[in-house]
Chains A and B, each alone.
Chain A
């Protein structure tokens, strides 16, 4: 190599200095964690961009992040709590419902954003290389700010309804992490499928619209287990919503653990298979998008 040709520090985003061999990739492709780590700055920037654009484009900006969960909660409290008379296990219905909306809304937004993310980044994918996994993953992450705002609202609600703060609250980050993985698992599958199949963009809104009623957002998960048995736990959101309620409302709301682990197993399978599917399809993204 020419001496003194390039005095710049190693550029993380670019390929490493040693020899790179590009040839056709065949068969299943695994995740290259080392490469993802080299591109970590771009990951944060993409998430930051998504957040910035969302707040710049929405008329109400941050206001939307406050209003959306509150209005949803109000409707659920009236329809499920008052009209249908659903049991909230003794907790104030508003808090009971809001505790479920936290993971549900994060999941639903993350899924919608990430499943659309590759198609929306068409101009990037056809013009520049970086690990494509950053795109759906940063789309999932960009919902985290909305989530934090909702946490603020939750604390206000708890104070207003006089719900005691317990040590269980410390478990919430764990359940959030699991919700993140669930959204990522679905996002990997749907974003990659969306590149190839035109009808996927209709499937995701359908899942989101139905999911809020199928998951125990307006009622106790016990009702669902009563109806379907432990199979109700196959929907990972069931266990996650239970987890959030447990961490917010305390001991009386402990999840039904077999159902919870069933849901986590579903996520694990979807996540691993989704990562392989994504990586294997990745090489065709630029050609067919």
Chain B
């Protein structure tokens, strides 16, 4: 042991929010520079100076973060959206400079902030393996030496020489992860990569990560999946609003995080005393599920996703209407949905436990992270019994399968929803 392999001291990162007003075109920038000169000139001549334009808004994504990591440690980083987790990893992997403080790294570092970085849809699987490997930091000789292993892990055999734009989303992620899994750095920095792919694939990746951890490599690993964190890591760091809230054994930190109510995952259960609600109704459990009944953190854009709420009715004779409010990462309310199940329409619920599930159809939500507020209300007269903000969250994943609304377009796709429309083309003249 001895010296830490990663030392972070007083690390801070400041971001500017939005473009500096009037400085996002070269023309305006030059005009402003001239105006500033003019101001200075006037001031020197004792004339009244025009006020300086307001500066941009700034936020500290990280502030006064310090910790050490010993060689061979596997450390999980948790925290809610916007806590600064990705920012920390970006500084460690040199993608961005810190604003203050310093980091010392005493080993070769590789980072995996996304699977398939640099994959190009027009290139074949084979070509992408070489390109992606090099981008992640492998030499050509190393890639050649591990090529067969990579292909075997990805399980894409006959499609090796097909452009990846023709791959299914599963094949695409498998290939992308396979390349990354064969990196052999001393320090590996991983962000949220398990949020993609199906359950079986996620399991395979977790196992692979576990193997890597066992070989004595140092891993820093960000995930919203707390069970993965507690399984893979001995230690966890909980970031909140850019600062370290807690640093210690993974299980302890994870449960502190869960109990704080700050974390939002795919599943929430409340112990009796702490359940949100009133004397009419109380929440028991909320989770995000697939059709096969499994809880899921990430869903393929093509698949329906269910929000399931279990609650306990304590006062009979009220018409209780569960309703869900979906918010995207920008904080936009994507939609609100009320339970209009005819079986319970205008019908009071007797005391007891209930489970209500709403299904969001596949090919409807845009990719990204969605947070769900869960409420239970009565409408005549209007009463809100429960309103749990950020009850659960999940990530919608859209890959280049060619079967979704993104077609073969691989870039960033704006939009709050992403429905798959029925398109029709008629030949009018030929």
Contacts and interface: CB of A to CB of B under 8 A. Distances in A.
A2 B216 contact: yes
Contacts of B317: none
Interface stretch (B136-144, B166-174, B221-229, B320-328): B136-144
A17 B134 CA distance: 18
Contact of A286 (B71, B95, B111, B139): B95
Nearest to B14: A287
A11 B120 CA distance: 23
A200 to B, nearest CB: 6
B96 A56 contact: no
In the complex, the 10 A-B pairs of residues with the closest C-beta atoms, listed nearest first: A13-B137, A23-B102, A129-B94, A197-B26, A14-B137, A283-B97, A8-B184, A14-B108, A199-B25, A22-B103
Interface in A37-64: 41-42, 45, 49, 52-53, 56-57
A217 to B, nearest CB: 27
Interface in B167-221: 184-186, 215-217
Contacts of B15: 287
A57 B142 contact: no
Given A2-B216, A19-B105, A123-B118, A24 B98 contact: yes
B33 to A, nearest CB: 13
Interface of A: 1-2, 5-6, 8-25, 41-42, 45, 49, 52-53, 56-57, 122-130, 193, 196-200, 203, 283, 286-287
A11 B139 contact: yes
Interface string B14-49: 011000000011110100000000000000000000
Contact of A53 (B96, B123, B135, B185): B123
Interface string B289-333: 000000000000000000000000000000000000000000000
A5 B26 contact: no
Interface of B: 15-16, 24-27, 29, 71-72, 90-111, 113-114, 117-118, 120, 122-123, 127, 130-131, 134-142, 184-186, 215-217, 412
Contacts of A23: 98, 101-103
Contact of A128 (B111, B140, B186, B412): B111
Nearest to B191: A127
Q: Interface SS of chain A: helix, strand, loop or mixed?
A: loop
Central interface residue in B91, B106, B108, by most chain A CB within 10 Å: B108
A42 B135 contact: yes
Contacts, number: 154
B117 A283 contact: no
Contacts of A1: 71, 106-107, 186
Contacts of B109: 14-15, 20
Contact of B104 (A9, A19, A56, A128): A19
Given A198-B25, A203-B26, A5 B71 contact: yes
Contacts of A18: 106
25 contacts: A5-B72, A6-B217, A11-B184, A16-B108, A19-B104, A20-B103, A20-B106, A22-B103, A23-B101, A23-B102, A23-B103, A24-B97, A52-B122, A53-B120, A123-B117, A123-B118, A124-B135, A127-B95, A127-B113, A127-B117, A128-B117, A129-B111, A198-B24, A198-B25, A199-B25
Contacts of A24: 97-100
Given A2-B72, A287-B15, A17 B108 contact: yes
Nearest to B411: A123
A19 B5 CA distance: 9
Nearest to B25: A199
Contacts of B135: 13, 42, 124, 128, 130
A150 B289 CA distance: 59
Given A22-B91, A57-B122, A52 B25 contact: no
Nearest to B184: A8
A42 B184 CA distance: 17
A207 B21 CA distance: 27
B95 A12 contact: no
Contacts of B120: 49, 53
Central interface residue in B94, B103, B111, by most chain A CB within 10 Å: B94
A9 B142 contact: yes
Contacts of B95: 125-129, 286
A197 B29 contact: yes
